[in-house]
Structure 1
Amino acid sequence: MALCLGIDTSNYTTSVALFDGVSGYNLGRLLDVPEGALGLRQSDALFQHVKHLPEIFAALRAEGRLDGCIAAVGASTKPRWVEGSYMPCFLAGESQGRGIADTLGVPFFPCAHQQGHIAAAAWSAGRPDLLDRPHLAWHLSGGTTELLYVQPDGVSVWAQKLGGTSDISAGQLIDRTGQLLGLPFPAGKALDGLYGQADVCQNYTVKINDLTFSLSGMENKVRELVERGTPPANVARFVVDTVVKAVLRTTDKALDQYPGLPVLCSGGVASNSALRAALRDAVFAPPQYSTDNALGVAILARRALTGGSRL
């Protein structure tokens, strides 16, 4: 069966995926972030992607994953599919993807990182039908907290921002909390682990205006808690519960405007267990496909190759 190859080079992960219309496989590697740092400069991220991609392809070859016929190549070329959206780190995946496609004589299909997240989440959750119908989607990651109205756009998906944060993302708040607590970056998994150890349940109610809310003030509140000697588990629960409550309330408000639409959650923050428990009716990808990955890129390449919704 012909394979479609997908490449994604975000500011956090280098990943390559293969999709044959039935099954998919993703191999990724987190970028190396210096201890105590909150992410990387674009130049450093781009340099690491250039180094990591040949290593990932070599590993795929060693696993026998590249033995089939590659019929198309896709890559995420920008953060969002809107005019002016640009990050240099995506040049690494795009340049290699175009080079591979030209070498093999197969088509190259660009997409946005956000579109890939939506496709990977829908497919891995067992809901590929969402790619062919309107729905609401949360993109909750280290750099993005956006509530989207998603609808089919030919063989891809088009996403319109409805709301989310007006300043720092949920992932940034979580990572900055992790830095204050001395946790490794990215801090989502560590905060999730601390959450269940908390002996105090409290949160801060953020104000929501037109499906938009602010999290920047929370960073100062977290700093105050840490400076007062609040146990790390209680700090973790305070932050997670605040984020979860804001997402849940915003979702409910959006469903008042768009009743009956399914809600899909993607992005690394969507791996959080408390969020999954709170949004019981939402569609969540398995944790390994919530974080940055290239599977959605490969899925969209397959859809573009076949010319329609059938994978």
Structure 2
Amino acid sequence: MLCLGIETSCDETALALVRDGRCVESVLATQMDVHALFGGVVPELASREHYRFLGALYDELMRRSALSLDAVDVIAVTRGPGLLGALLVGAAFAKGLALAANKPLVAVNHLHAHLLAVGLEQPLHYPLLGLLVSGGHTHIYRIDAPDALRLLGRTLDDAAGEACDKFAKMLGLPYPGGVLLDRLAQRGTPDPHLFPRPYTHTETLDFSFSGLKTAALTYLRAHPGLMEEGKRVREAGTDAASPSLCDVCASYMLAVAETLSLKMERALNLPENRDVTSIAVAGGVAANTQVRAAMQRLADKTGKPLLLPSRFLCTDNAVMVAYTGALLAERGWGHGLPFSSVPRGQRLPDDLGALRAPMPKGDA
């Protein structure tokens, strides 16, 4: 099966072709430089950039792959969650292709696609325990099948990636701050007692990173020189960072990573999850060095294999959308043209719920 995937949930415009679980070709346009001027993603600008890029990227994808739309068996597109305007641009493009070529259409849950993407590089043996950790979401799932993901825990406020970006912003680091935070942390020595492991005193699997941000802000106000150092890094690059700044970044990232690990270990120890075969970690923050190390320590401790996607598959991409769309199409799922996009803040049902009764053609 050849699946065309389309991803426009935030600030990456991406298309990919996946055949039988392997990427044939992919293209991507980033909007990082545009949004860096504003210190974060501007939704309206993101929508306009998706509109500007999509047609040209589609042509480039088909040119590189030497394929045409006639060869595509199914079209998959991100339904949500994400920025509503951005999602609508991708959905409209996908619907137009499906209608014009009379192709089946599958609308994909962006979060589930992140977790399932690890199957592109290594076999998936269900059930899995999945951690989705990104700029907008921090979720724990039990994964029994590509169309059976059950949410066990979620963030109550900021996601882990957002907490990292905001700490970087407190330091005066440029956007995107989370990436720079990781680079600086790799050069530092973490103090495991400097920052708390937030919301770990409860027995739930939910997350809350607001307490960590408050602790970090309090520390920086008591050590204003660190913020001046952050501004120097903004102007002169990471080589200008002092050991003390790198140590604080490492300590903050250790607190985030160990919080994620503690909650995942708690989920693994639940009686209903004793049959879990392995641990899958995905999302943009899964590319972080300390998060990957903490998850590996958890895997070694519990004897569960760790499934980590390559760093390219951690960030937003269309390969994961095409792969997930193909998995769902093979299980009989599909959409008609009237499906709606679901923005961040509106919950998609845990059963990939956007998926209605199976529909064989895009014009159904």
Report % sequence identity.
24
SS in structure 1 of the partner of residue 39 of structure 2:
coil
Q: Which amino acid aligns with 2:325?
A: A
Paired residues, number: 295
Please report how far the alpha carbon of residue 205 of structure 1 lies from its aligned counterpart in structure 2 after TM superposition.
Answer: 2.2
CA distance in 1, matches of 2:330, 2:263: 37
Please report how far the alpha carbon of residue 242 of structure 1 lies from its aligned counterpart in structure 2 after TM superposition.
Answer: 0.8
Could you tell me which residue of structure 2 aligns to residue 35 of structure 1? 37
**Higher strand residue share:** 1
User: For the Cα contact (< 8 Å) 2:186–2:289, is it kept in 1?
Assistant: no
CA distance in 2, matches of 1:220, 1:55: 44
User: For the Cα contact (< 8 Å) 2:5–2:76, is it kept in 1?
Assistant: yes
Please report how far the alpha carbon of residue 36 of structure 1 lies from its aligned counterpart in structure 2 after TM superposition.
Answer: 5.0
Pair 1:235 & 2:248 matched: yes
Pair 1:253 & 2:272 matched: no
Could you tell me which residue of structure 1 aligns to residue 312 of structure 2? 288
Which residues in structure 2 correspond to 1:86-105 (within 5 Å)?
87-105=84-102
Could you tell me which residue of structure 1 aligns to residue 236 of structure 2? none
User: What CA RMSD, in Å, does the superposition of the two structures yield over aligned residues?
Assistant: 2.3
1:115-148 residue CA offsets vs partner (Å, 9 max, x unmatched): 2112212323x12x34xx2221111111001111
SS in structure 2 of the partner of residue 106 of structure 1:
coil
TM-score normalised by length of structure 2: 0.75
Could you tell me which residue of structure 1 aligns to residue 114 of structure 2? 117
Aligned CA distance change for structure 1 residues 47 and 217 (closer, same or farther; 3 Å): same
Q: Which amino acid aligns with 2:286?
A: A
Which residues in structure 2 correspond to 1:111-190 (within 5 Å)?
111-124=108-121, 126-127=122-123, 129-130=124-125, 133-152=126-145, 156-190=146-180
SS in structure 2 of the partner of residue 33 of structure 1:
helix
1:158-217 residue CA offsets vs partner (Å, 9 max, x unmatched): 322211321100010111122223333222321111112214523422232211232112
Please report how far the alpha carbon of residue 29 of structure 1 lies from its aligned counterpart in structure 2 after TM superposition.
Answer: 2.4
Give 1 or 2 for the bigger CA radius of gyration.
2
Could you tell me which residue of structure 2 aligns to residue 78 of structure 1? 80
**Higher helix residue share:** 2
Could you tell me which residue of structure 1 aligns to residue 362 of structure 2? none
SS in structure 2 of the partner of residue 211 of structure 1:
coil
Aligned CA distance change for structure 1 residues 305 and 148 (closer, same or farther; 3 Å): closer
Q: Of the candidates 203, 211, 229, which is equivalent to residue 205 of structure 2?
A: 211
Could you tell me which residue of structure 1 aligns to residue 285 of structure 2? 269
Aligned CA distance change for structure 1 residues 123 and 214 (closer, same or farther; 3 Å): same
Please report how far the alpha carbon of residue 26 of structure 1 lies from its aligned counterpart in structure 2 after TM superposition.
Answer: 3.0
CA distance in 2, matches of 1:291, 1:196: 20
CA distance in 2, matches of 1:47, 1:297: 21
Q: Which amino acid aligns with 2:259?
A: A
CA distance in 2, matches of 1:266, 1:22: 18
Pair 1:279 & 2:295 matched: yes
SS in structure 1 of the partner of residue 147 of structure 2:
strand
Aligned CA distance change for structure 1 residues 184 and 61 (closer, same or farther; 3 Å): farther
List gaps (5 residues or longer) in structure 1. Answer: 81-85
1:5-52 residue CA offsets vs partner (Å, 9 max, x unmatched): 0011112322111101142133222223133523223x3322221112
Q: Of the candidates 191, 201, 217, which is equivalent to residue 201 of structure 1?
A: 191
Aligned CA distance change for structure 1 residues 304 and 150 (closer, same or farther; 3 Å): closer
Q: Of the candidates 214, 225, 229, which is equivalent to residue 220 of structure 1?
A: 214
CA distance in 1, matches of 2:181, 2:279: 24
1:226-267 residue CA offsets vs partner (Å, 9 max, x unmatched): 341244312321221111110111011101101241221110
CA distance in 2, matches of 1:226, 1:70: 53
Could you tell me which residue of structure 2 aligns to residue 83 of structure 1? none
Q: Which amino acid aligns with 2:53?
A: H
SS in structure 2 of the partner of residue 151 of structure 1:
strand
CA distance in 2, matches of 1:148, 1:22: 22
Aligned CA distance change for structure 1 residues 38 and 217 (closer, same or farther; 3 Å): farther
Could you tell me which residue of structure 1 aligns to residue 58 of structure 2? 57
1:85-129 residue CA offsets vs partner (Å, 9 max, x unmatched): x833211111101111222221111111112112212323x12x3
1:253-300 residue CA offsets vs partner (Å, 9 max, x unmatched): 101101241221110000111111121122111110011111122112
Deviation beyond 4 Å, 4+ runs, structure 1:
none
CA distance in 1, matches of 2:56, 2:174: 24
TM-score normalised by length of structure 1: 0.86
CA distance in 2, matches of 1:182, 1:65: 46
When structure 1 is superposed on structure 2, of 299-308 and 184-193 the one drifting more is 299-308
Pair 1:12 & 2:27 matched: no
Aligned CA distance change for structure 1 residues 165 and 65 (closer, same or farther; 3 Å): farther
Please report how far the alpha carbon of residue 63 of structure 1 lies from its aligned counterpart in structure 2 after TM superposition.
Answer: 2.3
